Chain A
Amino acid sequence: MIGVRLYMLQRLTALIMAPLVIGHIAVMIYAVQGGLSASEILGRTQGSLLWALFYGTFAVAVALHAAIGLRAIIHETFGLGGKSLAILTLGIFALLGGMGLHAVYAVTA
Chain B
Amino acid sequence: MSDDASLKVSVWRGAEAGSFETFDVPMQESQTVLDLVAWVQQNADPTLAYRYACRVGMCGSCAMMVNGVPRWTCRTHVSKVAKDGTVEIAPLRNLPVIKDLAVDMDPFFDKWTAAGGAFSPTKSRDDTVEPILPETPERREADAAIECINCAVCYAACDVVSVNPDYLGPAALNRAWSLVNDVKDGALDARLTAVSGAGGCHNCHSQQGCVAHCPNELNPTASIAGLKRATVRAALKGRI
Contacts and interface: CB of A to CB of B under 8 A. Distances in A.
A touching B, CB within 8 angstroms: yes
B231 interface: yes
B203 interface: yes
Contact of B202 (A7, A75, A76, A77): A7
B202 A6 contact: yes
Nearest to B164: A76
B232 interface: yes
B163 to A, nearest CB: 4
B240 A72 contact: no
Interface in A54-90: 72, 75-77, 81
B200 interface: yes
B133 to A, nearest CB: 31
Contacts of A3: 196-198, 200, 202
Interface in A3-26: 3-8
A34 B149 CA distance: 62
B212 interface: no
Interface of B: 160, 163-164, 166, 196-198, 200, 202-203, 228, 231-232, 235, 240
A2 B202 contact: yes
A81 B203 CA distance: 14
A67 B141 CA distance: 34
17 contacts: A1-B164, A1-B166, A2-B203, A3-B197, A3-B198, A4-B200, A4-B202, A4-B231, A4-B232, A4-B240, A7-B231, A7-B232, A8-B235, A72-B203, A76-B160, A76-B164, A77-B163
Contacts of A7: 202, 228, 231-232
Interface of A: 1-8, 72, 75-77, 81
A7 B235 CA distance: 11
Nearest to A5: B235
A1 B231 contact: no
Contacts of A75: 164
A75 B198 CA distance: 11
Contacts of B240: 4
A95 B125 CA distance: 60
Contacts of A5: 235
Contacts of B197: 3
Contacts of B198: 1, 3, 81
Complex A-B, nearest 4 residue pairs according to Cβ-Cβ distance, in ascending order = A7-B202, A76-B163, A4-B196, A2-B202
Contacts of A72: 203
A4 B231 CA distance: 7
A97 B30 CA distance: 62
Nearest to A3: B196
A76 B240 CA distance: 26
A60 to B, nearest CB: 21
B229 to A, nearest CB: 11
Contacts of A4: 196, 200, 202, 231-232, 235, 240
B166 to A, nearest CB: 8
Nearest to B163: A76
Contacts of A77: 163
